[in-house]
Amino acid sequence: MPPVSLMGVGSSKQAGVQAKSLGITHALVVTDEKLFKLGVANTIKNYLTEAGVKVSIFHGAEPHPTETNVADGVAAFKKNKCDGLVSLGGGSSHDCCKGVGLVVSNGGQISDYAGADKATKPLPPHVSINTTAGTGSEMSRFAVITNPQTRVKRVICDWRITPTVAINDPVLMIGMPPGMTAATGMDALTHAVEAYVTNVATPVTDACAIKAIELVAKYLRPSVANGQNLKARNGMAYAEFLAGMAFNSALLGYVHAIAHQPGGKFNLPQGVCNAICLPVVCEFNLIACPERFADIARAMGEEIHGLTAMEAGAKGIAAVRSLSKDVGIPSGLAFLGVKESDLPALAENAMKDLCALFNPRPARLQDVIDMYKQAMGTPYAKAAAAQ
């Protein structure tokens, strides 16, 4: 967990005070092109300069940030003689910023740090300011960086990359369009569900995961329906933060291992890929821990009295599908351009993904291919039936 976490309306105004308290004199703000053009980065810059912190802005964090993005950010950090970091945005900005901090402090290239706990030196102080309610990257020890040549995502898990201060201000989330709201919200749900059923879950992570599921079930639909609904936005901010607390310790599973691959290869939204794959992997995992899925059903608001654990668990998975449909998530990967011929290579890479290690049910290569086929959706199903 970050040593300091600020939540609620207007909390982003504390960015400058927090950066100053960390001893930052010149911050590199790492963000994306969109937030830079919208002026959000300048708003944060003003908060920082008002506190006496000098600011340089790097707006080169792309969706699925690449090793090249990280290298460019490192160059900007060194050129401007910065001594601290501020990330602004969703997971892409935070992950890129974490990568910059790793390389600045520890040297080498970001690819050197794929895997678990490869860093040996402390990172520069880092204030993360979140603008989406999904990834949990603003408060976690994870970063995902894409190899620009192979388009394969590499997972970095290291306690040293946890931001020093995390800020979740729902006011900054007001401008998210419905599609992004849906994708990031389903991303948060995926984190919570996967963390609840991993093979390293604990009572502490369980408490965070179940509450996160309850909040997503309550607040995601109204957030998508009306982005100006500040109560719903605030509820989703807490949901994604709690989900982050859960997977930060309980880790993830095959939903992420499978979803990472098309997301990286075809530059698809990670939250959408997660949402499509979530019920498919849940159905695969159901027999491994039906009581856990029964708990998920209850947290989703389903009536499960008198049902067996398997029946209740299946009802919970159906509720996940229903929520995904209600908020406009596409029904399959085929809608996003993934082809049957892509599946074997995607499955091979999914089995190498760090997240696969913590799935409650081990999977063979053919199991993963089969899950991909199920996740392809209606167009693929119709084509397969025609053959």
153 and 284, same domain (yes or no):
no
CATH number for the domain including 242?
Answer: 1.20.1090.10
Predicted confidence (pLDDT) at residue 298 exceeds the cutoff of 90: yes
Asked if residue 289 has pLDDT above 80, the reply is yes
Shared domain for 229 and 284, answered yes or no, is: yes
Please check whether residues 250 and 154 belong to one and the same domain: no
β 26-30/84-89 pair status: parallel
Q: 168 and 195: one domain?
A: no
User: What's the pLDDT band for 386 if we cut at 50, 70, 90?
Assistant: very low
pLDDT tens track for 167-209 = 999 999 998 999 999 999 999 999 999 999 999 999 999 999 9
Domain count, the chain: 2
pLDDT reading at 383 higher than 80: no
Query: What counts of helices (H) and strands (E) characterise the chain?
Result: 15, 9
Q: Among residues 145, 173, 201, which one ends one of the domains?
A: 173
Tokens of 272: 């959408």
Which letter, b or e, does each residue of 320-329 get, where b requires 16 or more Cβ atoms within 10 Å of its Cβ? bbebbeebeb
Which DSSP string corresponds to 132-192?
SSS--GGGSSEEEEE-TTT--EEEEE-GGGS-SEEEE-GGGGTT--HHHHHHHHHHHHHHH
pLDDT of 384 higher than 80: no
> Which distant-in-sequence residues (6+ apart) come within 8 Å of 113 by Cβ?
99, 102, 106, 119, 156, 158
The answer to whether residues 269 and 337 belong to one domain is: yes
Same domain, 148 and 16: yes
Query: At 109, which CATH number?
Result: 3.40.50.1970
Residues 61 and 94 in one domain: yes
Same domain, 21 and 67: yes
Same domain, 251 and 287: yes
Do 129 and 264 belong together in one domain? no
Which pLDDT band holds residue 379 (cuts at 50, 70, 90)? low
Give residue 132's domain range.
4-173
Residues 199 and 95 reside in one and the same domain: no
Q: What is the pLDDT of residues 212-244, one digit of tens each?
A: 999 999 999 999 999 999 999 999 999 999 999
Which of 131, 151, 173 lies at the terminal end of a domain, its last residue?
Answer: 173
Q: Which of 111, 145, 173 is the last residue of a domain?
A: 173
> 50 and 121: one domain?
yes
